């Protein structure tokens, strides 16, 4: 189901989503002088595939939303950004790591003899889980409180200490990213084999969700939070 429909006017769509202009250009739909027309009229006049046009508009919307979110994070004060990271991404891990652990155990038991790659998946996931559990505690109990303190009362000494811990944290991100890569490889790119059950599918879906959530989480910490604090990490 698209968030757009053919009874919207072309001009209104571009006014709400400037990126829609690129989509209309691509399909040769006039959005300037012909902006008062309904999208459906242009589609039928030009014998276009409505599903295809709506799908492209949805993609443009999602891309614009993603860029807007990034801009919002950049404007967020550090203290709010850290709260956001804890409430969103740390909460995601605290909620999902134990669930995925159970699932990985289950599919190893049920399918491990036919799918030997699951032994490696099990091992990699649990080393990632252990690393992340400690990493979250380090951020919540050590790094983020130091950053909060630095924001209130900056000093060179404290900045040095923040940088030292942030560098360690960044190394841990690097390590987690490496395990995620190995995990994806061990799991055959998360393609679901034909002979498995729903639990197997669910496990691979959750591992992929974990991967994308963790990428966004690390991006916010490395590229926005640390960078803003002038913590140049090598
Ligand atoms: Fe974090
Ligand atoms: Fe982190």
pLDDT tens digit sequence for 101-154: 999 999 999 999 999 999 999 999 999 999 999 999 999 999 999 999 999 999
**Cα 9 to averaged position of ligand 1 atoms, centre (Å):** 44
One domain for residues 158 and 189: yes
Share of residues in the chain with pLDDT > 70 (%): 98
Q: Which domain holds residue 171?
A: 76-228
Rounded to the nearest 10°, the torsion over CA 146, 150, 153, 156 is: 110
Ligand closest to 82 (CA) is 1
One domain for residues 88 and 31: no
**Cα 188 to averaged position of ligand 2 atoms, centre (Å):** 26
One domain for residues 144 and 205: yes
3 falls within a domain: no
One domain for residues 127 and 21: no
Total structural domains within the chain: 2
One domain for residues 86 and 99: yes
Give yes or no for a contact between 51 and 17, defined as CB atoms under 8 angstroms apart.
no
Band (pLDDT 50/70/90 cuts) for residue 231 is: low
One domain for residues 39 and 137: no
**Cα 80 to averaged position of ligand 1 atoms, centre (Å):** 13
Alpha helices in the chain (DSSP H): 10-16, 20-26, 39-45, 50-75, 78-85, 91-111, 117-138, 144-152, 156-186, 198-219, 227-228
One domain for residues 118 and 143: yes
Give yes or no for a contact between 110 and 197, defined as CB atoms under 8 angstroms apart.
yes
**Cα 126 to averaged position of ligand 1 atoms, centre (Å):** 18
One domain for residues 84 and 163: yes
One domain for residues 110 and 19: no
**Cα 26 to averaged position of ligand 2 atoms, centre (Å):** 40
162 falls within a domain: yes
One domain for residues 42 and 86: no
One domain for residues 63 and 115: no
**Cα 183 to averaged position of ligand 1 atoms, centre (Å):** 20
The domain boundary residue, chosen from 71, 91, 113: 71
**Cα 132 to averaged position of ligand 1 atoms, centre (Å):** 9
1 falls within a domain: no
Ligand closest to 173 (CA) is 2
Question: Lowest mean pLDDT: which of 74-83, 114-123, 179-188?
Answer: 74-83
One domain for residues 42 and 157: no
153 falls within a domain: yes
């Amino acid at each position: 189901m698209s968030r757009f429909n053919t009874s919207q006017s072309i001009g209104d769509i571009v006014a709400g989503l400037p990126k829609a202009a690129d989509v209309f250009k691509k399909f040769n739909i006039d959005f300037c002088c012909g902006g008062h027309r309904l999208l459906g009229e242009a589609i039928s006049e030009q014998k276009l595939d409505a599903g295809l046009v709506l799908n492209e508009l949805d993609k443009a919307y999602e891309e614009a939303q993603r860029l807007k979110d990034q801009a919002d994070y950049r404007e967020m004060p550090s203290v709010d950004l850290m709260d956001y990271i804890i409430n969103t991404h740390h909460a995601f891990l605290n909620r999902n790591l134990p669930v995925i652990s159970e699932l990985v155990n289950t599919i190893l038991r049920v399918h491990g003899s036919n799918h030997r790659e699951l032994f490696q998946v099990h091992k990699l996931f649990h080393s990632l889980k252990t690393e992340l559990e400690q990493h979250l505690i380090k951020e919540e109990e050590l790094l983020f409180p130091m950053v909060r303190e630095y924001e209130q009362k900056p000093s060179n000494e404290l900045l040095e200490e923040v940088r030292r811990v942030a560098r360690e944290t960044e190394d841990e991100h690097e390590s987690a990213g490496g395990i995620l890569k190995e995990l994806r490889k061990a799991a055959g790119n998360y393609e679901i084999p034909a002979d498995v059950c729903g639990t197997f599918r669910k496990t691979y879906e959750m591992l992929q969700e974990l991967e994308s959530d963790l990428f966004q989480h690390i991006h916010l910490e490395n590229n926005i939070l640390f960078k803003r604090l002038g913590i140049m990490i090598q």
